[in-house]
Amino acid sequence: MADTNETILAVRGLKVNFSTPDGTVDAVKGIDLDVRTGETLAVVGESGSGKSQTMMGIMGLLAKNGTVTGSARYRGQELVGLSPKALNGVRGSKITMIFQEPMTSLDPLYTIGRQIAEPIVHHRGGTFKQARARVLELLELVGIPEPGRRIDSYPHELSGGQRQRVMIAMALANEPDLLIADEPTTALDVTIQAQILDLLKSLQKRFGMAIVLITHDLGIVKHFAERVAVMRRGEVVEQGTTADIFERPQADYTKMLLAAEPSGRKAAPADNAPIILEGRDVCVDYAIGGGFFTRGNAVFRAVDKVTLRLREGQTIGVVGESGSGKSTLGRALLRLLPSSGYYRFGTTDISGFDRGQMRPLRRALQLVFQDPYGSLSPRRTVGEIITEGLHVHEPALSRADRDRRAIEALKEVGLDPASRNRYPHEFSGGQRQRIAIARAMILKPKVVILDEPTSALDRSVQGQVIELLRDLQRSHGLSYIFISHDLSVVKAMSDYVIVMKNGKIVEEGDTDGIFDAPREPYTRTLIGAAFNV
């Protein structure tokens, strides 16, 4: 990295605020940042910390009700207060950006070749035809296979990882000085995440541009950035070299963030613990193609001959990337979708059970979903939501009894019992996840399938939810199936791990064995991607 001393972006006293019907919201409260040639600065913070809005403000991309004040100088040129037209001389040529959402950041109506060419044609002149050679070169550079064919593809024809590569090609097109990467890997699978970060790193070495990496994930910062700025509630609480931040954090918030990396292990239950839920040779098929009248003739096997035995008090972690069939497996085990195989709950063979036969068992077999926003009805109070299952499974309970149970359940998940009269939108993401857990716990289940219960949460909140789940397991003797793509969470939660890929089990074993001595290359890739990028 040549000449790391020269500051190319100097941010001083930068403020961003939004005028809303409820008054002005200060998203960024006067921060200072410096970015030097060729370095990587990570701006880390949880949701709402103002890390993205800082960069959006500098780049003139705030929503209409947002204003930016203060100073941001790019090589001496003030960017704050510049007209959009003047800013266009810098945006897309000297400073470029990639975003979190590779699915929606590209225009669905134009080929990727044309979209990459647009900033070239616009900033350097020439025609789209002339830019084509350069676009091919860029696609090659970012590792898109068969660039000659792919150049005429539309975004919907590419995978998420490929689209992010296209965004990177666009960002590199004019050989920028500074690349701002706003959560560039958050929406991607772990293995793809690692590939994208590797690509950014190697391109940085080759072209020497500086990178500002905006992220909530401290894990990827450690191996990627030279310097880190930690943001909280619109302020920079601490900044320094990556080594300093990780080894000698000063601010309490930074210490808390670092400690929030899920830790601890779960001990396996005794070997003679009885099996509570078993699925043998579980297969789930989806028909693909076909319309309303025509049966699809092709079949997609989402889960392929998976066998799983859950013991009392055990937590089995099911890991895999999107599309690996892990969520489908969870639903098949609860007999929530058509599947073949042999199923046993306790000592009861439930393979042939229909909906009516399953209903009395449902109480003991609960499911907690990923999305704490989507899975709670916005029009019902928390009390109504969590007692809904009692109406079905314990219809004899009086109103007062139900209320007592609701209070109990809310206390158990660490929420104020008074919250049962409020509505879901009044709660934060972590609190909503607690509500979702209370809804399952109120029925006193035996088995809970947790489908990505912590994926939508910030790290610090994630740690608390994991703690809660472990406490509940201990005090009630629960068995969990814990489905997640997040290996650090799985490591902290489960005593047995199943690794899935394309609907099949690739590898399984005790948590320690899987993480310390993975046998399969795929498992090694997953672990490598998650723990040392």
Partner 1 sequence: MISFILRRLASAVPTLFIVVTISFFLMRFAPGGPFNLERPLPPQTMANLMATYQLDQPLWRQYVHYLSNAVTGDFGPSYIYKDNNVAQLIGKGLPYSIELGLYALLFAVIGGVIAGTIAALRQNSILDFTIMSVSTLGVTVPNFVVGPVLTLVFAIGLAWLPAGGWGDGSMRYLILPMIALALPQLAVFARLTRGSMIEALHTDHIRTAKAYGLPARTVVVTHAMRGAMLPVVSYLAPCAAALLTGSAVVETIFTIPGVGRYFVLGAINRDYTLVMGTVILVAIFVIVFNLLVDILYGLLDPRVRHD
| Least Å from the CB of residue 221 to partner 1 | 23
- Map the footprint of partner 1 across residues 156-215, applying CB under 8 A: 156, 167, 170
368 touches 385 (CB < 8 A): no
- How far, CA to CA in Å, does 419 sit from each of 172, 373, 382, 434? 50, 17, 7, 12
Closer Cβ to partner 1, 288 or 418, answer by number: 288
DSSP SS3 for 111 = coil
Identify residues 62-121 at the interface with partner 1 (CB under 8 A): 64, 84-85, 87-93, 96-97, 99, 101, 104-110, 118-119
Residue 179 CB, shortest distance to partner 1, in Å, is: 11
CB of 170 vs partner 1, minimal distance in Å:
7
- Encoded one letter per residue, x for contact with partner 1 by CB under 8 A and - for no contact, window 41-70 reads ------------------xxx--x------
Measured distance CA(344)–CA(348) in Å, rounded: 6
Q: Which is nearer to partner 1, 176 or 269 (CB)?
A: 176
The least CB distance from residue 59 to partner 1, in Å, is 6
The phi and psi torsions of 525 (rounded to 5 degrees) equal -60, -45
Task: Please tell me the distance from the alpha carbon of residue 337 to that of residue 329, in angstroms, as a whole number.
Answer: 10
Nearest to 11 by CA among 212, 175, 217: 212
Contacts for 228 with CB less than 8 Å, ≥ 6 apart? 41, 42, 44, 221, 239, 240, 241, 242, 245
- CA 515: distance to chain centroid? 21
Token pair recorded at residue 277:
């839920």
Best CA proximity match to 269, nearest among 215, 226, 233, 310: 310
Cβ proximity to partner 1, 97 vs 514, nearer residue:
97
Minimum gap (Å) between residue 288 Cβ and partner 1: 18
* In the complex, least distance from residue 207 CB atom to partner 1, rounded to whole angstroms: 17
Decide the pairing of beta strands 340-345 and 275-288. Answer: antiparallel
Q: How far is the CB of 344 from partner 1 (least distance, A)?
A: 45
Question: CB-wise, 162 or 324, nearer to partner 1?
Answer: 162
Candidate residues 123, 201, 301, 393; the one interacting with partner 1 per rule CB under 8 A: 123
What are 33's strand-pairing partners? 11
Collapsed DSSP state (helix, strand, coil) of residue 308: strand
Check: CB of residue 41 under 8 Å from CB of residue 228: yes
> Which of 87/284 has CB closer to partner 1?
87
Give the x/- contact pattern for partner 1 in 124-163, rule: CB under 8 A: ------------------------------x-x-------
Give the interface with partner 1 as residue ranges (CB under 8 A). 59-61, 64, 84-85, 87-93, 96-97, 99, 101, 104-110, 118-119, 122-123, 154, 156, 167, 170
